Amino acid sequence: MGKVLVTGGAGFIGHHVVEKLLSTTNHEVICLDRLDTSGNLNRLYEIMQNIKYSNRLKVLWHDLKAPLNDYIIHQVGKVDYILHLAAGSHVDRSIEFPMEFVYDNVVGTGNILDFARIYQKENLKMFLYFSTDEVFGPAPEGVFYEENDRYNSSNPYSASKAGGEELAVAYENTYKLPIIITHTMNVFGKRQHHEKYIPLCIQKILSGGKIFIHADKTCSYSGSRHYIDAQDVADAVLFLMNNFKSGQKYNIVGAQEIDNLSLAKLIAKILDKELNYELVDFHSSRPGHDLRYALSGEKMKDMGWMPTELEESLRSVVMWSLSNKRWLGLDE
């Protein structure tokens, strides 16, 4: 049995990682979260309904803009793994309030790295910095960025995540901490906030509302992504805990690229309902948003890890959402 510290463990992706660790390992898990608009204890409450997990999860409140205090350091104790998922991640808000994201994603990362350097170096097996495809900027058609390609951040959010990456690289080089970095594309799944694209599509299709879909300037075609289920992301993190090499970067990529209109049509097909939509030129009216992101998943594939097929994952999440409409902001 080991001990894993998950920052942002009450967040959307973080709670899936916590659930994966509790359900498939014997590790003790400590969740460190400031419980703002992203962190939601209701997520952890739902997964904790399985009573056998209850004695292996500890939840601590802390805002990483400040260094960990003596109480938190004592409560965490010695850990084997640190999975740093806590971050500000709302692009629009980063454009309006860029310094909030510098403090959350650069200063916050510096504080948890320094905690690892000072208090955990002797026993730490792995520190994972959870980054994003957006650090590479928009991907031209046919281009799939590999792990060590150059950065080209389009907004303060992605720039702050790139800054956190560089701190992680520096701490690995300078202090020889066992650090790895992951880049992940658009993640969907159970208990996602209903403002996000896939739960928003499910909500709008169920209610008969219109979906406005991010498109090019001529509104001829919609933006595209490699969507991936949060449960696959959690599985990839666990895979890397057992198969990583310090100082490496890893892309966690969905099984296929799909444009947002085709995705909405697929959701409507699963629900057996009509799709009411309009293509809108968000790219011009919303600076800092990009039409296409794309990563290469070949490195993880060569290591032996593959994601679930998109339609299979999507169908599972859609059907779960029908039974859990409160997470869509709808009455049950």
- 157 catalytically annotated: yes
Q: Which of 19, 133, 172, 257 is catalytic?
A: 133
- 133 catalytically annotated: yes
Q: Which of 104, 134, 229, 235 is catalytic?
A: 134
- 171 catalytically annotated: no
Q: Which of 293, 301, 136 is CA-nearest to residue 226? A: 293
Residues taking part in catalysis: 133-134, 157
